Amino acid sequence: MWRFLGASKALTSSDVWFLGKCYKLSSEELSNSSDCESGNAAFLEDFSSRIWITYRKGFDAISDSKYTSDVNWGCMVRSSQMLVAQALIFHHLGRSWRKPSQKPYSPEYIGILHMFGDSEACAFSIHNLLQAGKSYGLAAGSWVGPYAMCRAWQTLVCTNREHHEAVDGNGNFPMALYVVSGDEDGERGGAPVVCIDVAAQLCCDFNKNQSTWSPILLLVPLVLGLDKLNPRYIPLLKETLTFPQSLGILGGKPGTSTYIAGVQDDRALYLDPHEVQLAVDIAADNLEADTSSYHCSTVRDLALDLIDPSLAIGFYCRDKDDFDDFCSRASELVDKANGAPLFTVVQSVQPSKQMYNEESSSGDGMDSINVEGLDGSGETGEEEWQIL
């Protein structure tokens, strides 16, 4: 059974964009949901196949704390787990994958769910994310923002590689990770900069200094206003969800993180981590496991202008051609931004600093940019970016 929560505008006859895929709905289809080939039914099947990760209770205490639940404080962690889980699903099973109706399930699917279990033994558990993010302020019982959450993922993935932990069966997160930011603390504003040469170097490092390109996950933390989202950014955010590389958005109302994965008209469609469920242990080799608590049949919606201005966008690029397509789309988005882009795309890094502005931007949105102190993660140290 399907439920729709939120405003009555959810799932009207307008097109739905969901993680880079367009579902064309019509009034006839909405009134005849028995047609399994309709855009409505296809969207619902896609939505319910996404990995849904929520508050849990009854797991082992986190580190040296007494917390055995993340209720009321772990929603950003859970939202980020959903985004990364979709990246792994897309990588191993493809964008067209849907949850099978019958068991046994595939080892890849079960293996991904196992990684997000609620114990230190699971690679991407809330326990391990909090430990990895300590230096960015992550702690049991405390809410965290999207920038710190992205950096915690970067640290955790790096730690897993260094310690050869069993992730993806070969000791590695199966893709490079690029946290795109224009400054060190991520909170001073300005347009983050996707540097193509930095992405290439991260792929090279992932492939142990081989020149071949690797799959890459991009996380782009953004601050798009002060107390509320600047409305000039809403059309740009909507368009990112049309990219084939889209992994959605970590965002929601202030202090309440959700995983925004789709859009229709002026409404964001999201998976909500705020439902409390018992902790479950899905063994990596249990292909008959009950996975129902990791999928959701409730479509919720939120007005885009109510989204907290502090958010993060995710993209997954399978190979070099896919990354080039992402850069092309992102550069076109810069041209539509009227001098206030979500983020910019440049080819290379030069020795001295040059700010981005509309006049210095080339027609294709892909310039050289001058930055000092860039490290291999794409971090620009103490440099600040601003729209002039």
Residue 364 resides in a domain: no
Q: What range defines the domain where residue 188 resides?
A: 52-346
At 215, give phi and psi (nearest 5°): -60, 150
285 is catalytic: no
Q: Which of 70, 75, 168, 183 is flagged as catalytic?
A: 75
Residue 151 resides in a domain: yes
The answer to pTM > 0.95 is no
Residue 382 resides in a domain: no
Angstrom distance (rounded) from CA 45 to CA 248: 17
**pLDDT confidence of residue 25:** 79
92 is catalytic: no
**pLDDT confidence of residue 355:** 36
Residue 358 resides in a domain: no
Tokens linked to 306: 């109510």
Q: Which amino acid does the sequence have at 54? A: T
Residue 56 resides in a domain: yes
Token pair 């899905």 in the structure block, residue: 282
Q: Answer yes or no: are the C-beta atoms of 372 and 219 closer than 8 Å.
A: no
295 is catalytic: no
Angstrom distance (rounded) from CA 160 to CA 156: 6
Residue 38 resides in a domain: no
Residue 267 resides in a domain: yes
Report the domain count for the chain: 1
Angstrom distance (rounded) from CA 129 to CA 81: 9
Q: What are the tens digits of pLDDT across the range 64-81?
A: 899 999 999 999 999 999
Residue 228 resides in a domain: yes
> Distances in Å between the alpha carbon of 149 and those of 75, 96, 315?
11, 28, 16
Q: Which of 46, 272, 308, 367 is flagged as catalytic?
A: 272
**pLDDT confidence of residue 352:** 41
β-strand partners of 246 = 315
**pLDDT confidence of residue 277:** 98
Each of the 388 residues of the chain gets a pLDDT tens digit; together they read 345 554 434 467 789 999 999 998 765 544 444 433 358 889 999 999 999 999 999 999 999 899 999 999 999 999 999 999 999 999 999 999 999 999 999 999 999 999 999 999 999 999 999 999 999 999 999 999 999 999 999 999 998 887 754 444 455 689 999 999 875 444 445 689 999 999 999 999 998 888 789 999 999 999 999 999 999 999 999 999 999 999 999 999 998 999 999 999 999 999 999 999 999 999 999 999 999 999 999 999 999 999 999 999 999 999 999 999 999 999 999 999 999 999 999 998 764 444 333 333 333 444 444 333 344 444 443 333 333 2
Give me the count of residues in the chain. Answer: 388
Q: Which of 92, 197, 265, 274 is flagged as catalytic?
A: 274
> Distances in Å between the alpha carbon of 341 and those of 17, 84, 167, 170, 297?
21, 24, 35, 38, 34
Pairing of β 298-303 and β 267-271: antiparallel
Q: Cβ neighbours of residue 380 under 8 Å, at least 6 residues apart? A: 181, 182, 183, 184, 193, 371, 373, 374
